[in-house]
Amino acid sequence: MSDGTLSQDEIDALLQGTDELMTESLGDSSISNFGGGRSVSADALTDNEKANLGEILREVGTAEANIISTLTGLNCTFGSPFVDTASLDTIRKDLKGKILIARVALTGGVNGEWAFVVPDKSVLSIANVLIGQEDNTELTDLIKNTFTEVITQMVSSMVSVISEKIGRQITPGIPNVEVLNDSSNLTLGGGQFFARLSNLFNLQDKGNLKFFSIIPVGMARNISNTYNAAKSAAATQYKGPAVQQTGVPVKNVAFEPLQMGVASEGMGNIALLLDVPMRVTVELGRTEMTIKEILGLGEGSIIELNKLAGEPVDILVNDKLIAQGEVVVIDENFAVRVTKIVTPMERIFEGSEGKI
C-alpha cells in the first residue's frame, strides 16, 4: 500500500459492502495511512512510533485473549496488531453497521480518552456465549451490560501491560459504553486525527473477532515516547558484569539448569491466605413472608421454598455463590456432592437473572 494503490482484499471489501471496519491486514505495521492514496498529514505517526505501539499491542492483545478465554471457557488466540492513523471523518466513513463503543478516561502515566470500537458481530460472538443465547442477533441491554464487564476486565489488563511497558502507573476510569446504529454520530475526544490500533482474535468455533482502539495521535505519540524512554533507562541501568583488570583469567559462573518448582511456589501470595477460615453455607432455598405469616408459624407449619424438588442446592462461601450440588447422606450425616462450579460471569448475573 506504500505506492498508494488498493490491494485486492480491500477492493473486495469495498465491493461487498462489509459491515465492519475495512482494515484486514493486521500484521503490517509499516503502513503509514489507512486507505489508498491518502496523503500523510502532520498528525500521522512515524514508522518508529508505530513499531513501538505494535510491540505494546502484542502483549496487550495476548493478555486480552486470555481474558476472553477465561470468561467464555473457549480457546481464544491473538493475531498480529495493526497500527494506522486517520481523521475522524475517515473513521466515520470506514465504519459500517452497528458498533459498540466504550470510552475510558486514562490518567497518570498516560492522559486521554481510550475508545474501544467493536463491530456488533464480534460483540455478539462473546456476549451470546456468556448469557447462553446463541441465536441472539440484537445488541440488547443485556448484551450491552454483559459486554461492559468484558471491556472492564480488558481495560484492567491493558492498563497493567502498558503501565509496565512505560514504567508509569496508569489509572483507568469507568468505561462509558454505548451502542451506535449510525457511525456518522460517532464522536471522539482529543482532536481530529487519531491512531487506530487494531486487534484480531480467533475464538474457538466462533471465527474472527475484531477489536479496535482509537486514541488521539498525541496520546499515541506520548505512549511511544515514554516507552522509548523506559527502554533507554533500562538499557542504561544494565552495565553488564564487572571485568577484572588484574590479568587473571575470568570465567563465567556455571549454574545447574533450573528445575520446575513445586506447585505451591506458583501460587504467589495466595499461600499466605490458605489457612484463613471461610464460612461455607449450603442453601436449600429461599422464600419471602410477611410479618403476619412469620408470627403465625408454629410446630408443624410448612414453608414453601423457591426450589423445585430435585433441583440442586446452592453452596455459598461468605454468602457468595460458588457452586451447586446434590444432598447425600454419609454415615447418617447430611453432605453435599458438588455437581457444578459456578463461573465468574454466572455469579455476576446471579442477582439480575434470579438463579443460575
Strands 112-119 and 99-108: antiparallel
The alpha carbon dihedral of 266, 272, 277, 281 has a sign of: negative
Which residues fall within 8 angstroms of residue 331, CB to CB, at 6 or more apart?
A: none
Average pLDDT of the residues in 44-71 = 90
Residues written for the chain: 356
Q: Which of 188, 183, 215, 194 is nearest to 92 (CA)?
A: 183
Q: Determine contact, residues 209/198, Cβ cutoff 8 Å.
A: no
Average pLDDT of the residues in 245-257 = 60
Which residues fall within 8 angstroms of residue 21, CB to CB, at 6 or more apart?
A: 94, 95, 96, 117, 119, 198, 210, 212
Average pLDDT of the residues in 337-354 = 68
Q: Determine contact, residues 115/154, Cβ cutoff 8 Å.
A: no
Question: What pLDDT does 35 receive?
Answer: 36
Question: What pLDDT does 21 receive?
Answer: 37
| String of DSSP letters for 213-277 | EEEEHHHHHHHHHHHHHHHHHHHHH--------SS----PPP-PPP-PPPGGGGGGGGGGGTT--
pLDDT digits (tens, 9 = 90+) for 160-192: 999 999 999 999 999 999 999 887 788 888 778
Report which of residues 232 and 256 the model is more confident about: 232
pLDDT digits (tens, 9 = 90+) for 76-91: 998 878 888 988 888 8
Question: What pLDDT does 105 receive?
Answer: 93
C-alpha cell at 141: 441491554
High-pLDDT (> 90) share of the chain, %: 28
CA 56 – CA 165 distance, rounded (Å): 7
CA 254 – CA 155 distance, rounded (Å): 43
High-pLDDT (> 70) share of the chain, %: 75
> The cell 465492519 sits on which residue?
20
Give the domains, in start order, of the chain with CATH numbers: 8-234 (3.40.1550.10), 277-297+304-353 (2.30.330.10)
Q: Please tell me the pTM assigned to this model.
A: 0.57
Mean pLDDT of the chain: 78
Average pLDDT of the residues in 221-239 = 83
Label residue 148 by pLDDT band (50, 70, 90).
Answer: very high
Question: What pLDDT does 190 receive?
Answer: 78
Q: Residue 292: pLDDT above 50?
A: yes
Average pLDDT of the residues in 34-45 = 50
Q: Residue 141: pLDDT above 60?
A: yes
Report which of residues 72 and 238 the model is more confident about: 72
CA 105 – CA 159 distance, rounded (Å): 11
Question: What pLDDT does 79 receive?
Answer: 82
CA 353 – CA 356 distance, rounded (Å): 7
Question: What pLDDT does 353 receive?
Answer: 44
Q: At what angle do helices 141-166 and 120-131 cross, to 10 degrees?
A: 110
CA 238 – CA 242 distance, rounded (Å): 11
Q: Residue 104: pLDDT above 90?
A: yes
Burial (Cβ within 10 Å: 0-12, 13-18, ≥19) of residue 275: exposed
Report which of residues 240 and 97 the model is more confident about: 97
Question: What pLDDT does 350 receive?
Answer: 57
Q: How many CB atoms lie within 10 A of CB 36?
A: 13
pLDDT digits (tens, 9 = 90+) for 113-136: 999 999 899 999 999 999 888 888
CA 287 – CA 329 distance, rounded (Å): 25
Question: What pLDDT does 330 receive?
Answer: 86
Q: Determine contact, residues 126/74, Cβ cutoff 8 Å.
A: no
Question: What pLDDT does 192 receive?
Answer: 81
Which residues fall within 8 angstroms of residue 153, CB to CB, at 6 or more apart?
A: 67, 71
Strands 320-330 and 193-203: unpaired
pLDDT digits (tens, 9 = 90+) for 10-27: 445 444 433 333 333 333
Using DSSP's 3-state secondary structure scheme, residue 11 falls into helix
Question: What pLDDT does 3 receive?
Answer: 46
Label residue 320 by pLDDT band (50, 70, 90).
Answer: confident
CA 199 – CA 87 distance, rounded (Å): 19
Using DSSP's 3-state secondary structure scheme, residue 84 falls into strand
Q: At what angle do helices 47-72 and 120-131 cross, to 10 degrees?
A: 30
